[in-house]
Structures are given as C-alpha cells and as structure tokens.
Structure 1
C-alpha cells in the first residue's frame, strides 16, 4: 500500500482521505488552519456515503505541511486554486524530487507556477502533474460526512514537463485504479477545465436566486438561452486552444468520458450529467464558482488569449460581470499573464513553459 499526503480538508480532500484510508493506504491529511482536522479527530474519521460507503481514518492529521509530506510517495493538492500559491511556496521548500505532486484538480498554470517556485528556492522539483477537474463529484453533508455522487469514469492528467505523464499515471494506479488517463500535456489538459463553462452562466445570469440563497439545483437553471451562452463560451475556449496549437477536450467530450452522456442538446446533456447529483447553485458571492472559477479559470484563459491575439468577448464579459457583482477586480488578482510569468512569451514561449517545463525567472 502507498503513503499519500492529502493537502486540503474540504469536500474533495475529505473524500480522498476517507476513500484512501478505507482502501488501506497510509493517509496524512493536512489543513492549513486545522479546524476541519479537529472535527475529524472528534468523530474518529471521515464518513463516506454514496458511491463509496464506510468510515475512513487517516493515520495523521496535521497543520504542518512538512510533517504531512515527510515519507509520502504521493502528495495530492485538493485546496482551492487561490490557495495554490501558498501551498506551492511551502511545498517547494520541503518536497523531494522522488515524490509526485498532483493538483487534483489544477487550474490552468498550477504546475507551471509550482516549477517556478522550486526554481525560486533553488531546489530540484518533484514530479508535478495536474488534472482539469476533480475525479470526485462530492459535497459535505456534515462536518465530517461526505456524499460522493460519482467518481468519474476517467479524468485526464498531464505532467509538467509532458515527458513524465505516463510515469505519473502508472504511479497513481496504486491509489485510483485506471481512472486517471494520460493527456497530451498540461496546456491541453489545463484548457480542458470546463468548470467555468458550466458554473458561470447559470450563476451570473440568475444572480437574484444567488442573492436570495434559493439554492436551486444548478442544472435546473440552464435554460435554452443560457445553454446558447455556454456554447458560445465553449467556441471561444476552443479558439484559444487552437491558436496555441493544442486540441483540448470539448465540453461534450468531457460529459461523455466523465458521465457517459452522449446524446441531446447542451441543456439536455447537462441535465443528464449533473441531474443525479442535483448540487445547488451558489448561495453567496463568495462561493467558489465566483472566487475560483473566475480568477483561476476564466482569467488565465483570457491571459493566454490576449498573448496569442484571440478575441473572447463572451468569456470576457462574464468575467467583467462577475467582477462587478463581487466588487473585485478578478483580472488583476487572478492568474493573469504576469502571475504565470509569461508576458511577451507568445505562442511558442507558452508551449515551452507548459509542455517542456521551461522556467524563465526574471
């Protein structure tokens, strides 16, 4: 059995820590602030319902990241994207080259940024890989209880550099079976994150229900016209992908590989894919659909689009609207071109950073 450090004790972190414990692995669960760990300790473990049933007990609960990763062969980062910068800085000081670090999920550029952080500290990097979406579709139903609506059939993964991807997939089979499958590279995989495509239009365009905390199932808010907006966003995302010389997965391909949905209109496919979970829409403007999907989903798309001269007016408009609604400047605070360290890199410089793992420090 393996030794795995799970960094983050939210929905997915608890799901993975519980599932891996039930599977017999040596699990270390880290949380920066520690409050969720107190609850896990008091309850004697993590109760899982849904696709996985049982109570898993991590061997170690800690707010010390060095303690969490010491001796682990695998490090899984499941914290929100806005926490990646802090966690990456801490990891770059303590992780070793023989360890594997997985962003599950990543946000476009998570692996690129982590390689920069290793270089800034003059340390040799670990194996670094990322996925476009979480393998687990889940929600907390109590402080230490997680409902797992689905473990996706397959999710692509790519390392930075791309030459290590097959090794990472083989390594992760110990924990997750064959559900992680090799993607072409981190640029293709990162651009295949469809969370903003699905999450933003129904949230922004039904903002009254968000402010009312109505908590309708998100899929039920996707009307035919909102589905049309989703299609236009998707077309712009694919144009960015093509301009960068990669073929990222379409939204429909993701619905097929993750949920087995193959027929119907965009609205119908969304209902088929997400209807059985019926997870609610955001209940506030601080929900991750705004604070994560915009600055770490939409903003990096737009950053790369600007760098290669692709117009993306629908994606930009939703980013501007979300910024106004949240009273924040997501373009300035998110993973923009400067945060990626790629200003002036152009198409080939972007490809080198994501595919070859090239690091250019100022």
Structure 2
C-alpha cells in the first residue's frame, strides 16, 4: 500500500521503518526540517527490529496525501489540531487515517472537520503506539520494543473491523477492537506514567542531568502513577467503558509480570534497560501529557460525575511549576462541537456518527 506518515519524530520514523518492507512510504514533516536528513531516501533502524529501508519524502502536505491509501498521523498532540485542519481540506473520500496514538478524541475532531466538507474517510485511533522508539539521528531510529497487543477503534465504531484489517496489513496481527474512540482516549497510559515521573524529577530536568526513567518511576513515584491511573479507570467505568490498567499495559507492552507497578518498573529497568529521562523542562511529558492527557481525563470525569482529585492536583502543580495554565491548553477539546458536552450525546456520536 501507499502510506503517508505525517511526522518525523521517533514514532514517525519507526513507523516508516517498519512499513518500508512491503509498502511505499512517504514521510512529511510539519516544519520541513525533519525530512532534510532523509534526502538520500534511506532510513536506518536498530533494536527490536533492524535494517535499512527506502523512504520517500514530500515537502508539501498535499503531495504526501495525494496518492496515499493510508495516512498515519504521528505528531505530538500539541500540534495535531492544526495539522488535522490542513488534512481535512485535502483528504479524499475513502482514504484511511490512523492517529497513533490518539489523544483527546482527535479522531472525532477530524471527523467533524471532514463532515463540514461532505467528505467521509476511514478514521481510526490507536490506544498507544505500535512501538517504543527513540530517534538517534536525522535518518536513524532505535526501536526499543514492539508491542504485542494494542487497541483500535473507528469513528464511527462500525468502521472498526475494516480499520483493524488495514492495521494488520501494515503492522501485523497485534490489534484488538475497542468499543469507541472515547475508550481509546481513556486508554492512554503515557500521561499517567509520564507526569508523576516529570514532577518528581523537575530539578533533574531543569539541570540537564542524565538519569534513567524506569528505576526512577518506582517507589513513591509509582504510588502517584497508580493513583492517577485508578482515577482514569474510574472515569472509564462511569462511561460504561473498560480499559486496561497501567499494570496490564506494562505486562502487554514489555512482558513485565503482573505485580505491583513499582516492581514492574524495576523489572523493566533490570531486564530491558531504561531510556534516559528528559534533560529539559521543554518535554512532552509535561507540555503534551498534562493538557492532552490529564486535562482530558479530568474534563471527562466532570462530564460523567467521576471525581479526579489527584489528576486535578497534578495539573495544578504542573501549571504552577511552568507558570502556565495547562487546564485551558487543549486545542482538541476546544475544537469539539459544544453540542457534545454531555455523556449520552458524546457516546451516541462516537458510535453512530
């Protein structure tokens, strides 16, 4: 298949690397800088998968989308809304769009934008990324792990089987159907894992220290993570949804035993190694995961009547540390149709369109 990958960060490059064997891949970078190192048309990758694959690049979004059967959006959440707006003006009926991962009901936002043009595309959200990866050079990426299982849902849910079939053709048999895009959005575990880790290590980040993630995620920090996660699960239950816990996520993603979350973090660190933590305050662990993860969870909690005091506290602490009101910084939530401000209307829209 012809696939357009939007984004040249770690996940964008890793996706292109895995897709290069069997599919025709075109990479596009929002700034244009990300494709400069790919001028020779080769992408190298190592780790859980290794090799070198050919890739094409496009400086124009229209050029990347023009011949694509499938579009994969692998852009930080803070930049997704304006990119979706550009895509909505260019996408053709029948094209498939995967958001990997999908935060804050981004698939619903895209669906509303396309509906304004009278265009219908297949829109799918991944509950997490197919892989964990770290960009190691302009044309190099290290793939740390390939997830054994992740969830997918379509917008509306009737499209989910077709989207899962497409996803399996692209990345293999690792996908399960989730009930709807709200369940996908509430499945995101990065925010509940990243935000406590960052808040507990602000001075390390600010000083640019070298430190490893998973061992620093254990102990007291793991207690914060589990408290956040239990609130996320409670919000999902209040909507009548079932999503995986952070412990189940670590078990399926890394093969960690089903034990206390802090012990899972130690197991991953000791058996698989640990990437270094952020070395700057300018990190998506706060600037993306607070507004597009925790703020979303808290907003959905208010919608369904589920209390989120630990989530609210982490949002307040991050806002104080950064002197920035993260509670108002979610452009995707701000773009949602105000008529979908109640739980019944939102669920009906997600399931029937």
Normalised by the size of structure 1, how large is the TM-score? Answer: 0.93
Query: SS where residue 124 of structure 2 aligns?
Result: strand
- Assess if the C-alpha contact under 8 Å between 2:122 and 2:159 holds in 1: yes
Answer whether contact 1:299 1:335 (CA < 8 A) is retained. no
For residues 10-42 of structure 1, give each alpha carbon's deviation from its aligned partner in whole angstroms, at most 9, with x where no partner exists: 111111112212x13111111122112111115
In the TM superposition, residue 92 of structure 1 has moved relative to its aligned partner by 0.8
Matches for 1:171-182 after TM superposition, within 5 Å:
171-182=166-177
Q: Match for 1:47 among 7, 31, 44?
A: 44
Q: Choose which of 270, 294, 299 in structure 1 pairs with 2:295.
A: 299
**Residue of structure 1 equivalent to 2:3:** 4
| Correspondence for 2:156 | 161
Q: SS at the partner of 2:208?
A: coil
Q: 1:26 aligns with which of 24, 27, 45?
A: 24
Deviation at 1:339, TM superposition (A): 3.3
Q: Within the alignment, does 1:141 sit opposite 2:131 as a pair?
A: no
Shift of 1:342: 4.3
Q: What is the CA–CA distance in structure 2 between the aligned matches of 1:350 and 1:36, rounded to whole Å?
A: 36
- 1:316 aligned residue: 312
Cα 1:41/1:354, change in 2 over 3 Å:
same
Q: Partner of 2:251 in structure 1?
A: 256
**1:74: which partner in 2?**
70
Partner residue, 1:212: 207
The 3-state SS of whatever aligns with 1:94 is coil
Write the mapping of 1:339-354 to structure 2, written as runs, cut at 5 A. 339-342=335-338, 345-354=341-350
Other structure's SS at 1:28 match: strand
**Contact conserved, 1:92 with 1:125, CA < 8 A, in 2?**
no
2:266 aligned to which of 264, 267, 271:
271
Quote the offset at 1:48 in angstroms. 0.2
Equivalent position SS for 2:144? strand
Q: How far is the alpha carbon of 1:277 from its aligned partner? A: 4.3
1:77-114 Cα offsets, whole Å, 9 max, x none, are 00111111111111111112211100011103111111
| Structure 1 residue 332 corresponds to structure 2 residue 328 | yes
Q: Distance in 1 between matches of 2:122 and 2:223?
A: 40
Worse overlay, 341-350 or 87-96: 341-350
- Change over 3 Å in CA distance of 1:64–1:216 after alignment to 2: same
**Structure 2 residue aligned with 1:91:** 87
Alignment RMSD, CA only? Answer: 1.7
Counterpart secondary structure, 1:307: helix
Between 131-140 and 266-275, the greater mean CA deviation after superposition: 266-275
1:176-231 per-residue CA deviation (whole Å, 9 max, x = no partner) reads: 11122222221112101000111111210221111122131111212422211112
8 A contact 1:342–1:349 mirrored in 2: no
- 166-175 vs 268-277, greater mean Cα deviation: 268-277
User: What CA distance in whole angstroms lies between the structure 1 residues aligned with 2:280 and 2:201?
Assistant: 12
The equivalent of 1:37 in structure 2 is 35
Equivalent position of 2:184 in the other structure? 189
With over 3 angstroms needed to count, the CA separation of the structure-2 counterparts of 1:137 and 1:274, relative to structure 1, is farther
Tell me, yes or no, if the aligned pair for 2:229 and 2:246 is still in contact at 8 Å.
Answer: yes
Structure 1: distance between partners of 2:216 and 2:156: 39
How far apart in 1 are the matches of 2:266 and 2:351?
35
1:302: how far off? 1.0
Once the two structures are TM-superposed, the CA of residue 343 in structure 1 deviates from its matched residue by 6.4
User: Structure 2: how far apart are the matches of 1:277 and 1:45?
Assistant: 28
Q: Distance in 1 between matches of 2:281 and 2:310?
A: 20
Q: Following TM superposition, by how much is the alpha carbon of 1:135 offset from its aligned partner in structure 2, in angstroms?
A: 0.8
